[in-house]
Amino acid sequence: MAENKQHYLDRLQVVIERLHDCGANHRETVPVHEKSGGQTLWKGEVEVFDLYGHDQAKVCYGWSHPTGKQVKGEHLVTVLQIPPVISPETAVRAWIIRDLEAEDKNDWRQRADIQ
């Protein structure tokens, strides 16, 4: 299991470094359980990376999220610590909001195409 976790952290670090054009070092893993109205919106572990060489952020949060309704693959998510994102929890909330907004836009586009 430790090898799998280290491989995952290495992949996430590479994505962060390439996407945000800076260096990154893993600091810690934080469990996050985001709920709304008693329903779980997201539950998992958020990896916290210290950044160096980034002009706006000193921290980046990252995690893996399944893609597709049948969970065929994974999507590595990264969120920079730039206010209002100030913690692993607010990083997950910001991602959920962005994801829901993108889903609403896609639903609207699909409805518009049908009409």
CA 49 to centroid of chain Cα atoms: 12
Average pLDDT over residues 61-66: 90
In this predicted structure, what is the pLDDT of residue 113? 40
In this predicted structure, what is the pLDDT of residue 3? 64
Residue range 80-98, pLDDT digits in tens: 999 999 999 999 999 999 8
In this predicted structure, what is the pLDDT of residue 66? 74
Residue range 8-62, pLDDT digits in tens: 999 999 999 999 999 999 999 999 999 989 999 899 999 999 999 999 999 999 9
Query: Quick check: helix, strand or coil at residue 57?
Result: coil
- Torsion, CA 90, CA 6, CA 99, CA 68, rounded to 10: -150
In this predicted structure, what is the pLDDT of residue 68? 60
Handedness of CA 18, 4, 74, 57 (dihedral sign): negative
Grade residue 70 by pLDDT with cuts at 50, 70 and 90.
low
